[in-house]
Amino acid sequence: MTQRWARAAVAAAAAYMATRSLGLLGLWAVYLDPLVGALLVSAALVYEAGRWERWLLARGVEKAVTASVAVMALLSGLGVATGFAVNGFVAGHVSPLRLAWVAGVLAASALAARLLGGARGAAAASLLATLGAVSAESLRILLLHPGVGDAAELLYRLVMGAAVGVAALDYGVLAGLVFGWLVFALPAYVVPLLPRLPSTALTMLMAGTGVVAAVYMHASRLEARGLLRGGLRGQLRGLATVLAVALATAVALKKGYLAAVVATGSMEPAIRPGDLVLIAPADPSSLRLGDVVAYVGLDGSLVVHRLVGVSGSGGKILLYAKGDANKATDPPFTPDRLVGRVVLRLPYLGLPQLLLAKLLGSVVAFPALLASLAALAAMLGSGTRRVASD
């Protein structure tokens, strides 16, 4: 009976997603999505109740956490190299109700894979994940004016669903749901540590990491069965650390803080090229002579120099800054161009970004992304060997 109800839930979800994608529901989908998402997650829980092998579920969750930590570590490393972008949740474009719908789509994909089994199950999971993300407008654009970005987004959705399906086939519906949330939804929607890459490159990077994570999950399933002593606890600690850093980053972004890499030697020896500086928002009246400030230059670039003078006449205030290594003072600037005061310097932490900036637009840029994926695969592979030796 439970399996019959689960099949009915998946069929109903597929019909709803197709209707929603064609735009037949109109604005009502905004109110129905969270409800349908919650019902699909509930269906997954009911289906698995009393059905799962506890050791297999625990092992699947442990592997999903491992993959998630590795993916977020890679994205954070690339963020240090390229600069961090603000994700949709921090920017206010993704609401908790939207996240409920995403969880429902992942649950439907995991259920479909488990019910159908094999290649059919993985294909059904891939299709549901894609249907759950497209809209009538995106379909129209994809059909009438297809572009590289649209194709990359479609590929990402297909990969996401297939990866969730593989995890569900190997470890069960709940493990597949957890895997999808930790590897795909958490980095993309919640953790504000995404690297500042072109949208197409970032989408393909996320798809690539998803493929590697799914392969890792499947390879781990082929190991000898048995729970890992202490393995899950260690991975949870690692995930908690990543999330703590992500939360601190989100608070800093919300408060107006900005991280920037110094590209020139105009502030040597106090600040050297490749140093990462943290800029706090500041009111011009709070500044003191000698403070290192950041302001927008005449060419639109960010200038980090020391404040050497303030003048005012007729209600107009002018600020003067100068690089420690420069002979001449910068042209004066008005308070509206002030970004803030430098409150922290991290020596040489921005050198990877300077190097990558020189490579972007050249033939080396794409292999650099592939090398990042290879590094992730090596990280996951070493984790598998360590686990096997325990």
**258-281 confidence digits (pLDDT tens):** 778 888 899 999 999 888 888 989
Does the pLDDT value for residue 153 go beyond 90?
A: no
Does the pLDDT of residue 389 top 70, yes or no? no
**CB–CB of 150/48 below 8 Å?**
no
For residue 109, the model assigns a pLDDT of 94
Closest CA to 84 of 193, 185, 188: 193
SS3 220: helix
Reported as a single tens digit per residue, the pLDDT across 339-373 is 999 998 888 877 766 766 665 544 444 444 445 44
Q: Taking the alpha carbons of 290, 296, 298, 299 in that order, is the dihedral positive or negative?
A: positive
Q: How far apart are CA 282 and CA 237, in angstroms?
A: 36
Q: Which residue has the higher pLDDT, 213 or 137?
A: 213
Residue 234 has what pLDDT? 58
Could you tell me the CATH superfamily of domain 258-351? Umud Fragment, subunit A (2.10.109.10)
How many DSSP H helices and E strands does the chain contain? 13, 8
Residue 242 pLDDT greater than 70, yes or no: no
Give pLDDT, residue 92: 60
Q: With beta carbons less than 8 A apart as the criterion, state whether 204 and 147 touch.
A: no
Q: Picking from 194-203, 234-243, 362-371, which range would have the lowest pLDDT averaged per residue? A: 362-371
Q: For the chain, what is the mean pLDDT? A: 78
Least confident span in 98-112, 143-157, 287-301: 143-157
Using an 8 Å Cβ cutoff, are 113 and 125 in contact?
Answer: yes
Residues 326, 42: Cα–Cα separation, whole Å: 65
Greater pLDDT, 124 or 385: 124
> What is the pLDDT averaged over residues 127-132?
89
Hey, where are the domains in the chain? 2-255+371-389, 258-351
- Name which of 262, 284, 260, 286 is nearest 272 in CA terms: 262
Q: Which is more confidently placed, 170 or 224?
A: 170
Token pair 């004016």: residue:
145
Give me 79's structure tokens: 């963020």
Which stretch, 75-89, 97-111, 191-205, 226-240, has highest mean pLDDT?
Answer: 97-111
Q: Which of 123-137, 156-170, 211-225, 298-312 has the lowest average pLDDT? A: 211-225
State residue 316's pLDDT score: 85
Asked whether the beta carbons of 138 and 23 are under 8 A apart, the reply is no
CA atoms of 215 and 159, how far apart (whole Å): 12
Mean pLDDT of 91-99: 72
Locate all alpha helices (DSSP H) within 83-198, ordered by sequence: 88-91, 96-116, 118-131, 136-144, 148-171, 173-180
Q: What is the pLDDT of residue 165?
A: 92
Provide the token pair at 336. 């509206």
Q: What is the pLDDT of residues 320-340, one digit of tens each?
A: 999 999 999 999 999 999 999
Range of lowest pLDDT (5-19, 79-93, 119-133, 287-301): 79-93
Q: Contact, 117 vs 94, CB < 8 A?
A: no
